[in-house]
Structure 1
Amino acid sequence: MNKLTVTLLALLLPFIIQAENIKALVGGVLIDGFKDQPIQNSVVIIEGERIKAVGAMGDVEIPAGAEVISTEGMTVLPGLWDMHVHLQINGHADYKHWHSTYPPRFEKEIMPASAHQLLMAGVTSARDLGAPLETIIKVRDAINKGEIPGPTMYVSGPFIQKAPYPGTELYRWGVDGASDARAKVKKLADAGVDVIKLIDQDQMTEAELMAVVDEAHKHDLPVVAHAHRPKEILLGLKAGVDNFEHTGLSTAPEYPPEVIAGLRERAAQMNIGPLFWTPTVEGLFNYDYVKNNTEKFDNSSWHLDMPEDIIDDIKQSITHPERLPYFQITSKRKPTLKRKIQQLRDAGVVLMIGTDSGIPLKFHSQSTWNELDIWVREMGISPMEAIRGASYWPSVMMKVDHEVGTITEGKYADIIAVKGDVLRYINLLQNVDMVIKHGERVK
């Protein structure tokens, strides 16, 4: 090789590397997360980790040397968020057995497997709401550094409540007085959590509850709270909770008037941002189907990276799904869900996709698309609204909408693609064909 050749290569190498680091997704129907109508024959240019350009064919120039990836016949949309997952569990039906047996295997085996399954299902960002503090921080950081595969993770660490249930002290912290409540929140904040998780706030003193929320907000941490009972909701509203979870343990046909009035009043205060709600309805809604169609458990997607002995243990625990105490009241709650969802929407609350993924019978590889499907097919929510509830709104809630949540120039390239028309058949999301996270194609 002569000097001239070496000189030319040295000059051209930066351009060659740049071209190799550019991808062009070409031809698909694009849901960008902002527009009400998709872009036909779309082009998305990805340079490195970020989106360089977005538009229609003929309007966006494809750089010479770019890797062209055809998305013809596909729907292209932002990577999904799941706003309520538990990486420490994966469908096992016996919590007592699970948490007395597997904590030593959470960090290296179970949590990484759960995270990888979420990513392969098209979930590029997720919020873990309840796990041992040191373990979940280590797993979050390993994922976010690219050391193990998974969605970008946002974590709460242990729940904050009045008193942990027996045997759950590893991932539930009790509080005894306002000063202790502040100390527990500060400990979580100092450890680097992204959000504070609060449950059973109706069992706390008002001083304890106010201390939790105030201390969290002092550390610029949003507060997520359970909403199983009307008093939980009303107290949460009074304290300034940012985001409620679930649609209630009650079999009452609807939320009482005082709750709806409180929600309307809070939702109208747009100067402090939207009031968010993660209803997590699919687990309840699908239970009757799952218990009568156990062949669903033969879908081996939830086996990914999971050790065989744990797979066998999970299978054993769900041999008789119809007998699980966890779900026995579900048939009475199920008919109330659509009405409650409509009440929340009418009150002006912003709904987000979350699943409680990992609870009995609910696998990280399947729960997110099931939630979207139930929203659209049973709750009467439009596919576009559901998708925004799984992309744009979560990014707003977590204050990272300048980085992710839509397919927009300058943001991280978190993008999925699915063969077919997702706006007509939302359940196509059960088979995500392509997953790109931070510009890297991982599926």
Structure 2
Amino acid sequence: MSRLSLFAFVLACTTACRPSPKPASPAAAVSEGATSPASGVPPRAASGEPARREAVETTVFHLHKFLQRIGVERDTYTRDGAGEIEAKASFGFQDRGSQVTLAASFRLGPDGMPRDYQAWGRTSRHSSIDERITQEPDGSFTHSRVGEAPVHAGAPAASVMASGYAPLLAQDLMLRAWVARGRPATMTLLPAATLTIETRGKHEHEVEGKRVTLEHVSVRGLVWGREDAWLDDAGKLVAVVTRDAEFDHFEAAREGFVALLPELVARAGADGAAWLSEVGQSALQGPAGVVALVGADLVDGTGRAPVRDAVVVYDGDKIVAAGPRASTPIPPGATTIDVSGSTIIPGLWDMHAHVQQVEQGAAYLAAGVTTVRDLGNILEFVTGIRDAIDAGAGLGPRILVSGIVDGDGPRALGTVRIKTREDIAPVLDRLKRAGCLEVKLYSSIAPSLVRAIAEAAHRRGMRVVGHVPEGMRVLEAIAAGYDGVSHVTFLFEPLFAPGEAAKLSREARGRRIADADFTKPPLAQVIRTFASKKVMLDDTLALFELLNHTADDNARREPGLAKLPRELQGLFDGSSPEQAALDGAIFDRFLALVGELHRAGVPIVAGTDISVPGHSLHRELELYVQAGISPMAAIQAATSVPARLMGLQAQVGTVEPGKRADLVIVKGDPIADIRAVRKVTRVVARGRMYDPSALWRIADFVP
């Protein structure tokens, strides 16, 4: 899930990632006689099928991430003499230097119904799959997944088999079955999940000079939230716009249709925003017009002491009064809402977000997050959602876009690239036109270009933030013009000589971090430099906590894990029990350094890198308090501090007259116990009040 550079990824592996067995290549895995790891038998040998097979169809999908082509899937269909179809997928791509390969095989009866399915390999850089669904003689099915007890299920008429976004073969078969069965509203995803599929209309597109009509459908229940797919007039899959197992944008198109992907991505974003706005009407709570919230304590985000028994009045999207009840008049005709026993705080900010899907908007609002800073996305996708929300046609927090830019090489990400000095002006002009407030530099940018990029960005009124490029040190990046750094892990990089970390054992790397002394060089110099230059840090502590502790520990630390949608459950394996002691010690140094930086005057802002959507922002604030930061300052790190750093302090970030009506009402007192920020009872975004429970349900979370 995290979007780390090479150094940060090395540190993450040092602190968290368990090595996974390397899967066989898809081509080898699906060849005759290969064995499935889940079953231990040749994939088709157990079926007793005839040896002679007839080729029926071959389909090639081109795989993309952030609209950058990264790999290919080849699907083959063969028929035996009894009419059974065997369909095989060979799926593989390169992602930032890592090879992701997966193999899958289906057996379909003469009626087209699934009989058997198995998939094994990797679904992302950090996740793997090994499962099988087999039809029993009585027509029922057994689902087997490595590490889990088998699950038996009946055989509903409208049932399909798939393991998420990959392979595309599963989605193709799923949608062919949907068309063949008359486009039912729901189908069963074996063993017991429900897919909801609806058509979103047919549209004409130009492909290689010809006009073709494609049907746009949305699928819910396969991945978290909506997935968009397009079918040709035969009901076969043409393209998919979805997310992979890291929450990253993932797109695929059948050969001959790749040029359509940018258009389809934009259509998916606009359609998703419109859909979310429609269903979001059910979450609206409270009247329009002038509203007075009465009786709560007020923590206004300025740092002033809480106001007891306060009144906050807003009219439309503006706050018109805020203060003690005794001295704050309520306008005639205002609707009064008693919120006694609660605390009103400003709308929260997540300063390291990636809005990869529209459901995230509902989850953020449910958690009281009314502004997010998107630090890496498909530009057309995120700006489309941003603009829809700003125009009142979408549901979600305000989105501040930082345009992600990378360089060249096998680890590069996205399609916006700066490879030479000549690229700088046109790329930055494009980002400026798109309304980006910042340039986020990623890991493959050439260090020699950083200063020139920063100078050009600053001339355009844009900040420069992000990862420290490979081959560059964090202090060098600051000297070259960085305004902010993402991920606390980069600050530990000076503990290692150039190239040294890769030569050390995992334990040796981790021990050096765990034993780091902040009072001595080089980390003392890092702290002084961040403090003297007021360089912002979005540390993403909540993410690293999930990576550095066992799954059981994470469940105790982050209650949001128990509320995840089915498709996201088990997403964070965390550290292994064998590595947990060292990994925990390393995380403790991450936590301690953030506390030291805050005390030195470094601007710390709360950001999650998605992690557990919505919930991890609350955990970030809890971790700040553990690091020795006061609850008041922790709340400011997610309200007034980011508003000031982003130049929006005149509009938002505090509860004061004239500011935008972004408010969160929580039960209890977060100054006495920061955990009260989790107890959101009402959210006001742009002057519209929402019921958090309804928003969580829209996002498929348990409220």
Q: Aligned partner of 1:133: which letter? A: L
Give the CA deviation at 1:232.
3.3
CA gap 1:415/1:164 in 2 versus in 1, 3 angstroms? farther
| Pair 1:299-2:562 in alignment | yes
More strand by share: 2
The partner residue of 1:54 within 312, 317, 322 is: 322
Give the distance between the partners of 1:366 and 1:281, measured in 2 at CA: 13
CA gap 1:54/1:184 in 2 versus in 1, 3 angstroms? same
Provide the residue aligned with 2:138 in structure 1.
Answer: none
Helix, strand or coil at the partner of 1:184: helix
Deviations 1:257-307 (A, max 9, x none): 3564365356445xxxx432111111212445561157657633x44xxxx
Contact 1:84 1:354 in 2 (8 A): yes
Give the CA deviation at 1:211.
1.8
| Pair 1:44-2:286 in alignment | no
CA gap 1:347/1:233 in 2 versus in 1, 3 angstroms? farther
Give the CA deviation at 1:404.
0.2
Give the CA deviation at 1:220.
0.9
Give the distance between the partners of 2:419 and 2:523, measured in 1 at CA: 28
Q: Aligned partner of 1:56: which letter? A: P
Helix, strand or coil at the partner of 1:381: coil
Give the CA deviation at 1:78.
0.4
Provide the residue aligned with 1:132 in structure 2.
Answer: 378
CA gap 1:151/1:48 in 2 versus in 1, 3 angstroms? same
Instruction: Judge which range, 414-423 or 258-267, deviates more.
Output: 258-267
Query: Counterparts of 1:61-76 in structure 2 under 5 Å?
Result: 61-76=329-344
Percent of paired sites with the same residue = 29
Provide the residue aligned with 1:185 in structure 2.
Answer: 428
Give the distance between the partners of 1:346 and 1:431, measured in 2 at CA: 28
Give the distance between the partners of 1:264 and 1:179, measured in 2 at CA: 35
Provide the residue aligned with 2:536 in structure 1.
Answer: 276
Give the CA deviation at 1:328.
12
Q: Aligned partner of 2:665: which letter? A: A
Provide the residue aligned with 1:204 in structure 2.
Answer: 446
Give the CA deviation at 1:162.
3.0
| Pair 1:415-2:663 in alignment | yes
Give the CA deviation at 1:355.
1.0
Q: Aligned partner of 1:232: which letter? A: R
Q: In the comparison of the two structures, how many residue pairs are matched?
A: 377
Q: Please say which structure displays the higher CA radius of gyration.
A: 2
Contact 1:82 1:355 in 2 (8 A): yes
| Pair 1:224-2:465 in alignment | yes
Helix, strand or coil at the partner of 1:75: strand
Give the CA deviation at 1:199.
2.7
| Pair 1:371-2:634 in alignment | no
Deviations 1:60-91 (A, max 9, x none): 11112111111210011101001001122xxx
Helix, strand or coil at the partner of 2:392: coil
Provide the residue aligned with 2:276 in structure 1.
Answer: none
Give the distance between the partners of 2:471 and 2:633, measured in 1 at CA: 26
Provide the residue aligned with 1:245 in structure 2.
Answer: 486
Give the distance between the partners of 1:339 and 1:229, measured in 2 at CA: 25
Provide the residue aligned with 2:407 in structure 1.
Answer: 162
Q: Aligned partner of 1:182: which letter? A: A
Give the distance between the partners of 1:319 and 1:85, measured in 2 at CA: 18
Q: Aligned partner of 1:204: which letter? A: A
Instruction: Judge which range, 278-287 or 117-126, deviates more.
Output: 278-287
Helix, strand or coil at the partner of 1:58: helix
Give the distance between the partners of 1:84 and 1:328, measured in 2 at CA: 28
Deviations 1:351-410 (A, max 9, x none): 1111111xxxx221211001011111x211110000010000100111110000000110
| Pair 1:285-2:545 in alignment | yes
Structure 2: gaps of 5 or more residues? 1-286, 493-509, 692-703
Give the distance between the partners of 1:345 and 1:196, measured in 2 at CA: 24
Helix, strand or coil at the partner of 1:187: helix
CA gap 1:245/1:228 in 2 versus in 1, 3 angstroms? farther
More helix by share: 1
Contact 1:27 1:57 in 2 (8 A): yes
Q: Aligned partner of 1:192: which letter? A: G
Contact 1:279 1:354 in 2 (8 A): yes
Contact 1:280 1:355 in 2 (8 A): yes
Contact 2:550 2:576 in 1 (8 A): no
| Pair 1:383-2:647 in alignment | no
Contact 1:227 1:248 in 2 (8 A): no
Contact 1:260 1:343 in 2 (8 A): no
Helix, strand or coil at the partner of 2:363: helix
Give the distance between the partners of 1:228 and 1:430, measured in 2 at CA: 36
Structure 1: gaps of 5 or more residues? 1-18, 89-110, 304-310
The partner residue of 2:294 within 26, 31, 35 is: 26
Give the distance between the partners of 1:35 and 1:73, measured in 2 at CA: 21
Contact 2:446 2:469 in 1 (8 A): no
Helix, strand or coil at the partner of 1:337: helix
Give the CA deviation at 1:177.
2.0
Give the distance between the partners of 1:81 and 1:369, measured in 2 at CA: 11
Contact 1:32 1:408 in 2 (8 A): yes
Provide the residue aligned with 1:351 in structure 2.
Answer: 604
Contact 1:228 1:247 in 2 (8 A): no
Give the distance between the partners of 1:424 and 1:32, measured in 2 at CA: 15
Deviations 1:111-131 (A, max 9, x none): 210121111100001101011
CA gap 1:297/1:355 in 2 versus in 1, 3 angstroms? closer
CA RMSD of aligned residues (A): 2.8
CA gap 1:375/1:128 in 2 versus in 1, 3 angstroms? same
- Give the TM-score normalised by structure 2: 0.50
Contact 2:560 2:615 in 1 (8 A): no
Instruction: Judge which range, 341-350 or 234-243, deviates more.
Output: 341-350
Give the distance between the partners of 2:612 and 2:571, measured in 1 at CA: 12
Provide the residue aligned with 1:104 in structure 2.
Answer: none
Helix, strand or coil at the partner of 2:458: helix
Taking CA–CA contacts closer than 8 Å with sequence separation of 6 or more, which of the two structures ends up with the larger relative contact order?
1
CA gap 1:234/1:25 in 2 versus in 1, 3 angstroms? same
